[in-house]
Amino acid sequence: MSTKVKQLSPAQIDALYERLSAHAQKRKAPQYAKWMVSIQGITVTAWNSGKVVFQGDEIDWLADSVGESTAPSKPASNSSKKTKSSSSKTGKSSSSALSHDTFPQAGSDEVGTGDYIGPVVVAGVIVPDEKTAEKLRSLQITDSKAMRDDVIVKVAPEIEKLVPHSIVIVNNPLYNEVHDARGYNLNKIKAMLHNQVYLNLQKKGYTLPELCMVDQFCAPDLYYRYLNDQPAVVRTLHFQTKAESSWIAVAAASVLARYAFLKAWEAMEEKYGVKLEKGGGANATSSAKALMKKIGKERMGEAVKLHFANSVKIGLKKPE
């Protein structure tokens, strides 16, 4: 078991709790702790002192995405420095020669995994050369979470014209089926979707470049274990947390994924005639409750991820 400790501000701690609460199981907090939750085998404890402790076997994907590490108990063997990438032993070996200016490069990213309402979307792109990269940079793209939706709607069609791409959308009925009926956790679903966008690019006739960067959401070895039951697996991937901030291909994929999510969202609002709220917090819970009043409990699986804690809050599911 590994342990990492972060020193966070009260606002950062509140934001982390908001981020985790929709997916995590709440636990009784020890004395002098603000809260404790468990998510995918990781226990996260926020102490009144501002320290947040992450404990578990595969903690890097979560701990490294929060603030700055202040006291890791052991080196983060799967983390990537800004100019390096890391990969699974079962995939392509890491290479310090790979840099942000390596072309061609491919990248993939996902959106919708933290939203109670709406689909999960993964996009993958190939940036063939520096000239194309410069055109993408001129659009001022970055992590889609840091971009306004109206800007994304404006620039995404330009990105689609510039780069080979693949977008996979998992609507809510299918998501709920694979999560609840088949027992697939969120990271397994994400691994399958990232793998699929790279396979789709190959099916379209594109050769995957040496540099294929995934915005890391779990340790590389675990990523490939999630794919053990898949008939075809792309094993030439590299992994980095917050990759959309460093790699233009991942940034482009992030924007395309968000664009597809927004189009699906608009279609849902038009279909149901209800204003829906993104995210996994109180606003999303309120809008889902209004939707349930309109369409009934039996149809809510069309629009929401049923396993989220929000389902208990609106009376759609009983507490476990």
- Using CA atoms, how far apart are residues 198 and 64, in angstroms rounded to an integer? 25
Own/partner pairs for 226-233, CB < 8 Å, 24+ apart?
226/187, 226/188, 226/191, 226/192, 227/191, 227/192, 227/195, 230/192, 230/195, 232/195, 232/199, 233/195
User: Given this model, what pLDDT does residue 55 score?
Assistant: 85
User: Given this model, what pLDDT does residue 267 score?
Assistant: 97
User: Given this model, what pLDDT does residue 275 score?
Assistant: 95
Identify the H or E element spanning 115.
Answer: none
Its pTM stands at 0.73
User: Given this model, what pLDDT does residue 67 score?
Assistant: 65
User: What domains are there in the chain, each with its CATH number?
Assistant: 2-63 (3.30.310.10), 81-320 (3.30.420.10)
Residue 206 sits at the vertex; the CA angle it makes with 201 and 208, to the nearest 5 degrees, is: 80
At a CB cut-off of 8 Å and minimum separation 6, what does 150 contact? none
User: Given this model, what pLDDT does residue 110 score?
Assistant: 95
- Using CA atoms, how far apart are residues 36 and 193, in angstroms rounded to an integer? 30
User: Given this model, what pLDDT does residue 305 score?
Assistant: 96
Token couple for 53? 């402790």
Neighbours of 83 (CB within 10 A): 11
- Averages of pLDDT over runs of 10 residues in the chain (320 residues) are 84 84 78 85 88 82 65 33 38 51 93 95 97 94 86 96 97 94 91 97 95 92 94 94 90 96 97 94 95 96 95 89
Nearest to 215 by CA among 249, 182, 192, 172: 249
- Write down the residue that tokens 């929709």 correspond to: 22
C-alpha distances (whole Å) from 186 to each of 146, 149, 197, 276 are: 23, 24, 17, 22
C-alpha distances (whole Å) from 139 to each of 10, 26, 90, 100 are: 35, 41, 36, 17
User: Given this model, what pLDDT does residue 88 score?
Assistant: 39
